[in-house]
Structure 1
């Protein structure tokens, strides 16, 4: 059995939207209360309270704040689990201190467990969720298998999604007996050891004019709104306006988010198509372990490198290979562009403007990227 997440678009009624928004607030309130408690305990010399201790504190919070009883109960347990994981990353990986959450953050979410069939598919178009009842949904594929949990998410564009995690059987793909090495780049997204080059598509540039049109209006409308807010405070208005009260600013903000979302969706679709094709055709895939963080220091290429989404490409290959019974190896990229893939001669470091070079030892002319992909194929993880 394999865990698989299926993203569905849900269409809640106005009453259901109010309940979802309220549950976002309940989870955010519990997170902030627990985080504040942990910080105060640390300041007073106390020890860290683990996940089970925080679960007990949630019961106390419900007694102190009765409005929390209206929340979906398992969603509050997920808050303590997420906070515990955040602290574990801080302790073990030094990832940064957990921060308080704000209601102004455009993306909100909560997660609830499937208990006693409280989450189930009514039919092909309706989904039953706890505290909400039946909601109409739309998905590219129907969830098949045992439902484990559901994450309700509100995007920056105001759309509601339900990410359903199911435990299902995935049939392994047929064996082809082929292996491939992959070199990632900027001019081309991927170059394989078979000589195939997958071109880079700049989705951000395709919509850059429309996005920039709304970004200018967003900046202008925000500036005007801040002046109005400052004027209200100067005149000591009892309830001064906030940015959320300016509809033209909110519209521009949503339009900018819409174009960002469209760019991200187009990029993800392109990566999904490429990775599925690779997993179907090859049994063994080797890809270089490229550190994008170091390359992003080159400010002339940083935007182009960020557009490539190399990390997302690698993550997709990892879980798809695990699903379909294929093997993925991560290879150190050191000297892959310098060694001759035929005789192994080290020609030294080449600058980025050199795209082809001839091996002085064996006389073979190499395409820089294809030669690197062939070296990656020969390398061991």
Structure 2
């Protein structure tokens, strides 16, 4: 590498389970509630500023307000300064996204106030000795909270930039470390190229005739989810029985998500470690889920998350990920290139021109690979 050039970098998140004591947990919950109030107040201030003065309030102005508010509000003072200030950055990002959508002609969606239970995380923006968060004696040290037990089940490969403390729907606590990684440090490998066609009957068909079966985690748990939802709807609002029913339903949803994420992580890692080039279709997931007949199956498959995983893992593994136009990949013959129209229910590709007969999705995967190689050669 020539002098003066820097390696490409990317941010990666590493999540670990933490086990705060009862006292620590209560303090974290109090902080989350305080941050929710800061967030809602900041939203209200910006809304009022625009309605009365037709002026957008800046984050710096709100930081001055927060500094003064701490002098009068004891609860604001109890929250670590990094955590409280980061709330204003969230508000700024929410409004920046709103204005971007307005500019692009999309449905804007004005930033919303957070109700109780809708604000779920705290962010320490600096990590290291003498800062808001750090490691000490094999535990996670959080300023004003103390030493929190953490299960470090894998090594963090680089310097931690920030850490987010969050509580999930079933009451478990997690620490999510944001780490900056230099992509050039990752070793490349010389493997074959592969085309991948995502589907519903099969999770994916590969151009080498192999397939990845669809585990259908949500479909397999659907009856249990329906029963749990019915139980929840019958409970009196505000009662302990309702809270127990809510937790039961939340645990089922959390289990489905954990199963899906485990499957997607393992499959994406296997692919990027095996192949030097992976060709996929550039899918419009948002548009596809508007089909109410297929929306649940598409969401259950998790294609969007899978492609995202392939993207960042490919960058680390030295694998090329190439996205191609999906139009006609199932209708075109991968051997002779002729168009062979077929209904969605037809699962076998039979070409009347060259005689090729094979699985419809494998044929599409081969076409996807051909298009990707053509793009790379151009």
Tell me how far 1:2 sits from its aligned partner: 4.8
What does residue 34 of structure 2 align with? 26
What does residue 120 of structure 1 align with? 134
What does residue 4 of structure 2 align with? none
2:258 to 256, 265, 272: 265
| TM-score, normalised with respect to structure 2 | 0.89
Q: Is the alpha carbon distance of 1:219 and 1:183 closer, same or farther for their aligned partners in structure 2, counting shifts above 3 Å?
A: same
Q: Deviations over 1:2-45 (max 9, x none)?
A: 53321111111111111101110121111101100111111113
What does residue 120 of structure 2 align with? 108
2:153 to 140, 143, 162: 140
Tell me how far 1:75 sits from its aligned partner: 1.2
1:80 to 88, 104, 118: 88
Tell me how far 1:168 sits from its aligned partner: 4.9
- Contact kept, 8 Å, 2:127 with 2:163, in 1: the verdict is no
| TM-score, normalised with respect to structure 1 | 0.88
What secondary structure does 1:264 align onto? helix
What does residue 370 of structure 2 align with? 378
What secondary structure does 1:4 align onto? strand
What does residue 336 of structure 2 align with? 343
- Please say if 1:98 is aligned against 2:111: yes
Tell me how far apart the structure 1 counterparts of residues 53 and 325 of structure 2 sit (CA, whole Å).
44
What secondary structure does 1:181 align onto? strand
What does residue 207 of structure 2 align with? 193
- Contact kept, 8 Å, 1:24 with 1:110, in 2: the verdict is yes
What does residue 153 of structure 1 align with? 166
2:278 to 280, 285, 297: 285
Tell me how far 1:46 sits from its aligned partner: 2.6
Tell me how far apart the structure 2 counterparts of residues 131 and 207 of structure 1 sit (CA, whole Å).
41
1:165 to 150, 163, 178: 178
Q: Cα RMSD over matched residues?
A: 1.9
Larger displacement relative to structure 2 (73-82 or 255-264): 73-82
Tell me how far 1:346 sits from its aligned partner: 1.7
What does residue 60 of structure 1 align with? 68
What secondary structure does 2:53 align onto? coil
Could you list the runs of 4 or more consecutive aligned residues of structure 1 that deviate by over 4 angstroms after TM superposition?
168-171
Structure 1 gap ranges (5+): 227-242
